[in-house]
Structure formats: C-alpha cells, structure tokens
Chains A and B, each alone.
Chain A
C-alpha cells in the first residue's frame, strides 16, 4: 500500500481564500484523523471519523473549518475563509480497529502532511 496520501503537499494562499486539503487513507482502515501542527501549539487533533462518520470534532478551531468524508477512501478539510493564523502543517492519519492476541492495536499511520501558508 502507498500509505496515507495527502494533497497538495504545499499550499500558499491569500487571506480570505478558501482552502481544501485532501486525504486518501490506507485501504481497509476504518478510522481517519485530521491533525494540525504549529510551533506554538504542537500537534493537535482536529477531528476524527469512524466508518466515514464524524465522531469527535471538538478540536476544530471554529466554524471556518469543516471536514467531510464522503466515502471510505477520501476526506477533505476545508477552511473558508482562511486567515494567516491558520498557517500550519496539516496531517491526515488512518487506523484500523483490530485485535491481536486479544489486545487492541490502533496504530495510526500518518501522511506526509500539507504545509499551508496563508498570507
């Protein structure tokens, strides 16, 4: 498998523009996560899905952010309108609920990230 795929890898936009980040999880994985990483706040979870359904969006900073997962192989994170403080690296990760020898193993596999710069 190619791993988690994110696009674009880099995005530079101007304040007020709409930004859409894309993610393709690993085939067969039933959980998908969106994280944001900044120097000030570190790595923080924004939202996660299970079987395409949003489960916890408490980390989404405000209404300008929205995430969707229309099917098991695709998710988007949209920012509208974008602001300079949204500049960060956005990571998508996926995992598979599985049990090995009676113990859950929910290892998350991360994509390479999208570096967003809002001018």
Chain B
C-alpha cells in the first residue's frame, strides 16, 4: 500500500472547521483514500473514502487534489467529541487490508 504522511498533532477550536491534511504522493490509479478515526479507548471508526472526486457525508468532507497526491479531511463544525486520532489510509480497490500509520491526534479545544 502507498505510504501516507500526516502531521502528528493538530488543535482546533470548538465550532470551527477542522482541516486534516494527508500526503500520499505515491498513490496508484486504483487506490482509494480512506479516513478512519479512533476516539480514546475505542476501536477505529470509518469516516469517509474517495477515489478522485470530492466526497461528503454526514460526518465529514474529503477533498482530493487533482493529481491525487494529497487530500484533506474536513470536519465542518468540530465538537469536543471529535477529539481523536485520525488515520489517512490508501487502499487498492478490492484489497481488504487496512495499513494504519501513526495518524494525526486532533484536539478540539473549548
């Protein structure tokens, strides 16, 4: 799987948009970008995924650059409950393995 690079930590004020970057410069054409998060003492939770188009669901938005070498996960109105470690993962279509890196520890401050 392609390697991803994320900042180790970020802070965001409650109510503001949290923008989490991810670099995946070696991504292949058939590889998707997945985002999971892990709230303290819980198992990881799926957030969103995309191939090349921007995606939005009830949790977040995913913006993928045109060259697909980087992406940004956007939490539009962060709450204290969004404090977690966020993992950006690249995975080929049909592949089952998720390879987790170190992720970004996002802290939402009141």
Contacts and interface: CB of A to CB of B under 8 A. Distances in A.
Interface stretch (A12-20, A39-47, A67-75, A80-88): A39-47
A93 B38 CA distance: 13
Given A31-B96, A108-B44, 4 more contacts: A45-B99, A104-B93, A104-B94, A110-B44
Interface string A25-61: 0000001010000000011110010100001100000
B7 to A, nearest CB: 16
B97 interface: yes
* Interface range for A: 20 to 34
State the majority secondary structure of interface residues on B. Answer: loop
Contacts of B51: 103
Contacts of A106: 96
Interface residues of B, number: 19
Interface of A: 4, 31, 33, 42-45, 48, 50, 55-56, 91, 93, 95, 103-113
Interface of B: 38, 41-46, 49, 51, 87, 93-94, 96-102
A93 B43 contact: yes
Given A45-B97, A48-B96, A107 B46 contact: yes
6 contacts: A104-B94, A105-B49, A107-B46, A109-B46, A110-B43, A112-B43
Contacts of B44: 43, 91, 93, 108, 110
A44 B101 CA distance: 9
Contacts of B49: 105, 107
A55 B96 contact: yes
Nearest to A92: B43
> What 9 pairs across the A-B complex have the smallest Cβ distances?
A110-B43, A43-B100, A107-B46, A91-B43, A110-B44, A113-B43, A111-B43, A45-B97, A104-B93
